[in-house]
Structure 1
């Protein structure tokens, strides 16, 4: 971006309010900067001085739009675009309120301009126009990759970052110093939050220093000021007290109060505040009083008083509003204690402390008392300063109901932010009250900055002083001169727009009134924004019925920003209604009465539509441009709907169809929230919204699965949810399928009960029997590492009650054997590679199961004790030996199996031994390959040994070590000698005759062993060699197949497309029409007519005589099943000519498929 034009514009034309800038070539404007009078725009040109009159004005700007030709487009298309945009003016409006101001212009990449027209009530304008020149785009022949621009996070200035400030109130002191005569901060807090000044006080010349003079009131010599009754005593403290009031006056005030209340010296609070006199108004007064820490401590130390309050709160005689107020009073009394402890205790109850802050901030009076205590109470100040701010602390959203666990540092950061923001709002109220525009604009500018910072924005939105601030924003906007914009008015509009975008803030009566009373012209708010804000305000004003209508309305898809904000406000209204005891029933009943349908299915439908819209933003297919604001709002709205549905599912369970839809929606939302981590910055609001959804989705499914109620017709809720998730794992959603499976696994794991849950023992028996096929298919989709964790979770849940883990293990072994059966017959090399990878992945899984700490003993005991699994394992090992495959994973698996070989059957043990020998043959230089061979040989029963395969593998192994004898180590030599000794000790002659090794090779091996081994063992070599013989017959093995590494599997994209492409079936052809002339075989096969007439063939045919056939067809039952008329020629059947051979064959055909065991029937059923 560069400077396109520096100019001083003066109005011309008949109306005297128009000026224009013409560029020599098309340009794309990015910003317009206006300089005030006297400013020097360029440091290198001090003689250039700006001149802009008047100081503030509205300006209409018109851009002459020209379409930018796209590369590769036809000349006809480009000329058509130029004709469509010829002389098209794009209008906009800017409000200049003085000072150096930048106005951003977003022209996009499709259009450019050569002419900019300015219209307004100005005399002269000094401005700089920035942008870039547009040139003809040349068609790119070769693509050159360029790095994408990275966005940098701009941190909040330290002066405004009260979260990381050791003295959070220092900012408000700087703000008050802008006033000509700044009052003390505590006085501002008291006047703006606690003791609102009377109208006559504002006219007092000494205001705001108008105090209650207790020293004068309790001076006995001044009869006019003497206090004679309780009402006069209360009026004496209706104004702030001086900081230097004497202790004698305070004691006198307390004594007079006690005298008027009771004659007793000690006040008995339980007798004063009993259930007969304690109404809601009195409790609320006590609630306000307990906002002060000293009064709260006094109440807390009076144990009889607390017990009486608790008894009245639980009494059935008390009214509900009074009980509710008593509950708040007790919570506030104990909340001060919890809050004090949380300031210094790293393990404090931060959730309860946050609830205390949220409650105390619901009224301005209580907030003012808390703020004064935090500023003026030395004990609280010292506790807060004990822990210095952690660098880079982020504000947690403690005032939101959906808040995760926070640390001690996060809680203190929130307290500092709350302590720093609250007095700033008080300073705004004071500056606006006294009409100081400079201070007001400065505070509004700070609030605008905070509105764009995560954490600060949420603290402000939930702040109780926002109601007063909203009213003041309305006054600032409407009191501004409509002919001349002001900075305060512009900032007020920006704040109102930001507040209106939050659904919780939109429910406040002050904001609703402010939005509906906004008047044009607007300096910041656009026309569509004011319409949208008006819609939101009307929905919030009309309440529950309006929210119900909005939820029942069928939205146009995809959702627009306005529609999403309306839905969020509607959800906020319903959520607020649910706080009452009968709220859920009232909401459901109202929805049914208004629209004749259930609310919960409607909520599920909207959530499903939201997830579908988000799916369009996060796919592997490229989209023109990511709409970050829309994506953020979709995430926020989906999050609101999930929490709203959670309120109902505990009492009103979902049916199967809604369960499937909501589970699919949650799966898609979870995947989209994971995909959002790529395109969005970690500090953006869209990313934070996506992370909020990512945290909500597992919890939502977990709560939904805890509802152990039937969901007809598919059984329990959990069964329906798991079946849907298993199906979604293999469903194409346009994203990375591997990541999709892992995300579904996370959701499945969130549904499973925790190990400490007492109901988890019988959980698998009631949930999995009907979804075993889906469970197996999902388990096969997981990678080996995740699959092991999944099996471990299932084994712990099952606790050996149903044998679910053993069943999965058996299925894996069967699948492994099935691959071995298919692999030799597969001709496609790509498919062969894929099957080999599947074998390697299965070997990895089995190896992980045996070596996994929590599953090793279970896996071995299951394989050894279960006869079916032992047989499957033995069959799998036989397949491995027959196919002659090898891989590093298989070597590790074989070694682990050999450690537990004694646990298995002799046949399995021998197959393990044969695999050990086969692995040793592949690379004799690897140490440790023979460690388990002698021990396994010793454990083999002689009656179970298959001598031929064993001697063959031993011979080839010895031959391999003979060829590599030069690098043999001593421990390897000892293992080989033990193997030879075992062979020589066998009674079976076949085992003593080695095959696969030449006599010279065996002699050389023995010579090498004698040279390496110590003398005591070397003497045994020659005697052992003398007992062995060799057979030089050559052994032919299938070629060795090296399996691919499961971590480095690679397949060309074209090969993957061919594998996934549907197979083309051979089109069936119609047989040619043959001759009807019977051949000699037809005559021989066809039965003669005499055979058909034989009495022995009555089961095949039936003949009729006379009128038998007619009588049969005239029966009602037969007449109903046919529309044919009675035959007229059957009577002469016997006199008809002999049937042709084709007819004889046709009589036999209908009886052929009736045999259910016939091959023809089975073949036909398979085709069907």
Structure 2
């Protein structure tokens, strides 16, 4: 971005309010900067001085839009764009409120301009226009890679970063220093939040230093100053107390309160509670004096407590000293708990008592969390959220945090961690919170809330400069994660929301003010929060906004008005919005309306009868169920997000839309969870939910490479990513009902397994892993009481889908998946053994298919499957948790042992080689004694063949001698064994010069075993030449110690060689399963559907009978045979039964006898349950013996 134009514009034309800037070539404007009078825009040109008059004005700006030249292949589109944008003026509006101001312009990449027109009531404007020049399109012939731009995170200025400040309230002191003779911060907090001044107090010359007079005497002669009851005492302390108030005056005041409380009527008790409320924001000595003169259990008993009195006590307990006094008075606390649980007490009073007890305990939790690294931070955050919902309680809390030495010292014990950001603790759904996170949140809270009091004070006294400065700080905070949530919560206070409304509407319609512009921005930020839109004060503020607007656009004010009206009308309006069929794709306005509707319904659910009232209202209004409608909208949201996160390139990512889609989907999932725990979801809805959640989870994962980590869209996506597994887990629990007579987990798992092979334009490998994460979240934990029932009720109906999904996983993930299933099954049905059998069966199938395939790419793919299967088996046998189970299952079960032996035979026959196979063979050799002799010999042959591949590998022969000794002589196949031994000895003879002593000892043991065999075939080696065997023996004699070297010559004498050439099939080196690569074109060919040859009518040939004509064509006599007439005979009466008795009628036909007539009406109708077994994978009746009885019985 560069400077395009510096100019001083003066209005011209008949109306005298228009100026224009014409560029010599098309440009793309990015910003317009207006300078006030006297400013020096350029440091290198001090003689250039700006001039702008008047100080503030509105300015209409019109851009002449021109289509940007497009590539030659899009000339038709270019011509259409030029026709559409010819002489088109794109309008916008600027509100200049003084000072140096930048106005950003988003022209996009499709359009440019040469002419900018300015219209307004101005005399002169000094401005700089920034942007870039648009050049003609140049065709790119060579691709030049360039690094993607790295998004930079703009940090808050240190003065505004109260989270990382040791004294968070220092900022508000700096703000108050802008005022002439500012009062103390504590006094401002009391006047703005707690003891609000009367109208006449503002006119008092001594204001704000107007105090309550406790030193006056209660004389009988001065009737006006006498205090006759508790109500008069309350009025006496309605103003702040002096800091130097005497102890005698306080004691006298407390004694008078005690004297007036003799009757203990409900009214008197209310005024006593009111006195405690008034004292909560005053000096600590005053409230302690009052409490010492009260017997709390006697005063506040069940007979006199009502809602108003309890609410006064609630406000009073906002002070830590009063809360401690209540908590330490155990009889009083027990009496409050008893009253709260009493059936005689009205519900509003019970609700108020519940809040009072929660606040008393909340102070204790909050104090502990300040110093305890394992404190209840979530509970402490809930206390802060509750206490800041009301101005008086917030003012008392601020007084305590600023003036109470104990709280100040606790907060200062831990220094702020560098770079801390306040976590989102006010959200209902939050991640794990650390002690440092909580302290960062408290510092941010303590730094922001006093600034609101400063804003209220500056606005009350009419200091525009200070008001604008504070509003500017709030706008900055509203754009920062963490600060935004705390600030918006504080702005929802009744006073603050109304002040924003007043500041905006009090602005001059002819000249904009900075304060009005900033207030508009804050209101817009508040309106984006659906929960905030439910507050009556914000609804009133939005509906009362009056034009002209300096920041809010026309579409935005209409949208905010729509949100406010939906929130104002309540439940019925929210139901109508949910039932409305939206135009797809969703717009920003529609998504915000849906979020507000969800917030309204969620608030209704807080009541005991709320869920039923919501469902009944939806049914009465629209004649349909709410839950299916919620599922439909959730599915639509996931479909819209799928369009943003595919491998296909899209013109431009709309981050605001993506963020709202994620936020709305998150809201819908939580609402569905609430209803699904009480009301069943049908199978169709469950499938749609599982599909939608799978897509949402995949889209949220795709944001990692799309959005900046600090962007709102990324944060919204991560919230969805955390919600999806918990959402599916909650729905799949055993206590959640389903229709019809099935478990939710069955429908959801089946749908997820299907989605694993359906990437929907995304990376298919990543899609499988993401689905695995969701599936793993659905599986119950090992300690869950209902985990054992899964193997009996869930898995038997989805065995084929379970197997197919397992085959899609990579070997490492497969091991984790099988481990989860084995733990869940707990050897009850043999589910893990069945999967192991299916894997071995798949291996055998691939071996059988490999020689028949002619396509080299398909052969490569089959080889990869073999290598991946070997890798899986090796990982299973080396897994810390599954190794013992794998060996035991493979060796103890006859059927599995037979499958393993068949697989090893296939490996030897096809002659494949790979690193995973070598590792697997070594693991099998370690436990060879557990297998049958036939399997043991195949393991031995594989060990020898692996050793032949690379004799230099250390330990290649470690298990050969022991395995040789373990194979019974009756089970030895001498020919293949001697062949492999001969080739192995030949390979080691070729590498004898580098042989080590330990390897030589192993080779000698092999020779000893051969020489000791009675079978002459084993003593005649094949595959090694005599001179090779001699050289090997000579090398062994030289390497081994003398006692062992002497044995070599005798062994050599007993062995002979057969020089016949031994032919083996070529070795197939399998690809590495971790680095498999296949050209994209080859992959496309493999995935392409094969076209079958279209059938064609044979050409008309000669009618001359050939030599086979007599055989192929039956003679005419045969066609006229009585036996053949039954094939075309028309049945009448019972002729068909008689005809069926003739054996000749069934000759030369391929049809079986008809039985449908005899059995019609007798055969039972097949039910859906009867066909369930057909969906299961083919398997023997009892493939695993006793281990399979569980599954067989369930089927």
**Normalising by the residue count of structure 2, what TM-score does the alignment of the two structures yield?**
0.91
CA shift in 2, pair 1:65/1:962, >3 Å: same
Partner secondary structure for residue 591 of structure 2: helix
CA distance in 1, matches of 2:45, 2:132: 22
Q: Is the 8 A contact 1:578 1:584 kept in 2?
A: yes
Q: Is the 8 A contact 2:800 2:1177 kept in 1?
A: no
CA shift in 2, pair 1:74/1:1052, >3 Å: closer
Answer with 1132-1141 or 601-610: which moved more: 1132-1141
CA shift in 2, pair 1:963/1:518, >3 Å: same
Q: Is the 8 A contact 1:1110 1:1126 kept in 2?
A: no
Cα offset, 1:384, TM superposition: 0.7
Cα offset, 1:755, TM superposition: 1.3
Cα offset, 1:989, TM superposition: 1.9
Partner secondary structure for residue 1072 of structure 2: coil
Unpaired stretches in structure 2, ≥5 consecutive residues: 265-291
CA distance in 2, matches of 1:290, 1:1145: 64
Q: Is the 8 A contact 2:829 2:1189 kept in 1?
A: no
CA distance in 2, matches of 1:24, 1:1011: 94
CA shift in 2, pair 1:753/1:214, >3 Å: same
Question: Alpha-carbon deviations, 1:514-562, whole Å to 9, x = none?
Answer: 1111111111111111111111111111111011000000000000111
Q: Is the 8 A contact 1:1105 1:1131 kept in 2?
A: no
Cα offset, 1:1050, TM superposition: 1.2
Partner secondary structure for residue 181 of structure 1: coil
CA shift in 2, pair 1:73/1:1118, >3 Å: closer
Unpaired stretches in structure 1, ≥5 consecutive residues: none
- 1:407 corresponding residue in structure 2: 434
CA shift in 2, pair 1:1137/1:1070, >3 Å: farther
Partner secondary structure for residue 1021 of structure 2: strand
Answer with 113-122 or 711-720: which moved more: 711-720
Partner secondary structure for residue 361 of structure 2: helix
CA shift in 2, pair 1:1155/1:208, >3 Å: closer
Q: Is the 8 A contact 2:681 2:739 kept in 1?
A: no
Cα offset, 1:252, TM superposition: 2.2
Q: Is the 8 A contact 1:984 1:1028 kept in 2?
A: yes
CA shift in 2, pair 1:714/1:226, >3 Å: closer
Q: Is the 8 A contact 1:1104 1:1130 kept in 2?
A: no
Question: Alpha-carbon deviations, 1:1001-1049, whole Å to 9, x = none?
Answer: 2121111111111001111111222222222222111011111111111
CA shift in 2, pair 1:45/1:758, >3 Å: same
CA distance in 2, matches of 1:252, 1:1156: 95
Cα offset, 1:462, TM superposition: 2.4
Cα offset, 1:325, TM superposition: 1.0
Answer with 326-335 or 143-152: which moved more: 143-152
Question: Alpha-carbon deviations, 1:83-132, whole Å to 9, x = none?
Answer: 44332221111011001111111222222222211111111111111222
Q: Is the 8 A contact 2:800 2:1175 kept in 1?
A: no
Question: Alpha-carbon deviations, 1:326-382, whole Å to 9, x = none?
Answer: 111111111111110010000011111112112212211111111111111000111
- 1:55 corresponding residue in structure 2: 55
Answer with 685-694 or 27-36: which moved more: 27-36
Q: Is the 8 A contact 1:536 1:565 kept in 2?
A: yes
Q: Is the 8 A contact 1:218 1:252 kept in 2?
A: no
CA distance in 2, matches of 1:1085, 1:1132: 38
Cα offset, 1:134, TM superposition: 2.2
Q: Is the 8 A contact 2:1182 2:1189 kept in 1?
A: no
Question: Alpha-carbon deviations, 1:622-659, whole Å to 9, x = none?
Answer: 00011111111111111111111111000012110000
Q: Is the 8 A contact 1:27 1:114 kept in 2?
A: yes
CA distance in 2, matches of 1:652, 1:1139: 31
Question: Alpha-carbon deviations, 1:684-727, whole Å to 9, x = none?
Answer: 11110111111111110111111445534582100101000000
CA shift in 2, pair 1:158/1:848, >3 Å: same
CA distance in 2, matches of 1:105, 1:1132: 81
- 1:504 corresponding residue in structure 2: 531
Answer with 228-237 or 119-128: which moved more: 228-237
CA shift in 2, pair 1:897/1:465, >3 Å: same
Question: Alpha-carbon deviations, 1:966-989, whole Å to 9, x = none?
Answer: 111000111111111111112222
Answer with 1025-1034 or 447-456: which moved more: 1025-1034
CA distance in 1, matches of 2:1075, 2:190: 70
Cα offset, 1:672, TM superposition: 0.3
Q: Is the 8 A contact 2:34 2:126 kept in 1?
A: yes
Partner secondary structure for residue 117 of structure 1: strand
CA distance in 1, matches of 2:57, 2:1167: 109
Q: Is the 8 A contact 1:819 1:835 kept in 2?
A: yes
Answer with 142-151 or 852-861: which moved more: 142-151
CA shift in 2, pair 1:268/1:1130, >3 Å: closer
CA shift in 2, pair 1:602/1:1092, >3 Å: closer
CA shift in 2, pair 1:1092/1:789, >3 Å: closer
CA RMSD after TM alignment: 7.7
CA distance in 1, matches of 2:588, 2:224: 66
**Normalising by the residue count of structure 1, what TM-score does the alignment of the two structures yield?**
0.93
Q: Does 1:382 align with 2:426?
A: no
Q: Is the 8 A contact 1:906 1:940 kept in 2?
A: yes
CA distance in 2, matches of 1:275, 1:1076: 116
Partner secondary structure for residue 720 of structure 1: helix
Answer with 601-610 or 1106-1115: which moved more: 1106-1115
CA shift in 2, pair 1:229/1:1016, >3 Å: same
Partner secondary structure for residue 91 of structure 1: strand
CA distance in 1, matches of 2:391, 2:310: 17
CA shift in 2, pair 1:1131/1:1075, >3 Å: farther
CA shift in 2, pair 1:1153/1:555, >3 Å: closer
Q: Is the 8 A contact 1:1106 1:1131 kept in 2?
A: no
Cα offset, 1:590, TM superposition: 0.4
Q: Is the 8 A contact 2:830 2:1191 kept in 1?
A: no
Partner secondary structure for residue 63 of structure 2: strand
Q: Is the 8 A contact 2:521 2:551 kept in 1?
A: yes
Cα offset, 1:423, TM superposition: 0.7
CA distance in 2, matches of 1:394, 1:164: 8
Q: Is the 8 A contact 1:650 1:707 kept in 2?
A: no
CA shift in 2, pair 1:169/1:842, >3 Å: same
Q: Is the 8 A contact 1:1110 1:1127 kept in 2?
A: no
Q: Is the 8 A contact 2:829 2:1190 kept in 1?
A: no
Q: Is the 8 A contact 1:708 1:716 kept in 2?
A: no
CA distance in 1, matches of 2:207, 2:786: 69
Partner secondary structure for residue 1177 of structure 2: helix
Question: Alpha-carbon deviations, 1:1117-1142, whole Å to 9, x = none?
Answer: 99999999999999999999999999
Partner secondary structure for residue 983 of structure 1: helix
Cα offset, 1:75, TM superposition: 6.2
CA shift in 2, pair 1:640/1:1118, >3 Å: farther
CA shift in 2, pair 1:1013/1:444, >3 Å: same
CA distance in 2, matches of 1:1137, 1:369: 79
Which of 1146, 1153, 1157 is equivalent to 2:1173? Answer: 1146
CA distance in 1, matches of 2:469, 2:1167: 112
How many aligned positions are there?
1168
Question: Alpha-carbon deviations, 1:812-845, whole Å to 9, x = none?
Answer: 1111111110111111111111111111111110
CA shift in 2, pair 1:9/1:992, >3 Å: same
Cα offset, 1:178, TM superposition: 0.8
CA distance in 1, matches of 2:687, 2:217: 75
Answer with 977-986 or 840-849: which moved more: 977-986
Partner secondary structure for residue 73 of structure 1: helix
CA distance in 1, matches of 2:1149, 2:845: 52
- 1:313 corresponding residue in structure 2: 340
CA shift in 2, pair 1:359/1:75, >3 Å: closer
Cα offset, 1:464, TM superposition: 6.5
Q: Is the 8 A contact 1:954 1:994 kept in 2?
A: yes
Q: Is the 8 A contact 1:574 1:587 kept in 2?
A: yes
Answer with 781-790 or 1099-1108: which moved more: 1099-1108
- 1:840 corresponding residue in structure 2: 867
Partner secondary structure for residue 718 of structure 2: helix
CA distance in 2, matches of 1:37, 1:766: 80
Q: Is the 8 A contact 2:895 2:1185 kept in 1?
A: no
CA distance in 2, matches of 1:1156, 1:1010: 52
CA shift in 2, pair 1:21/1:774, >3 Å: same
Q: Is the 8 A contact 2:307 2:352 kept in 1?
A: yes
CA shift in 2, pair 1:304/1:1071, >3 Å: same
Answer with 991-1000 or 190-199: which moved more: 991-1000
CA shift in 2, pair 1:1036/1:362, >3 Å: same
CA shift in 2, pair 1:648/1:988, >3 Å: same
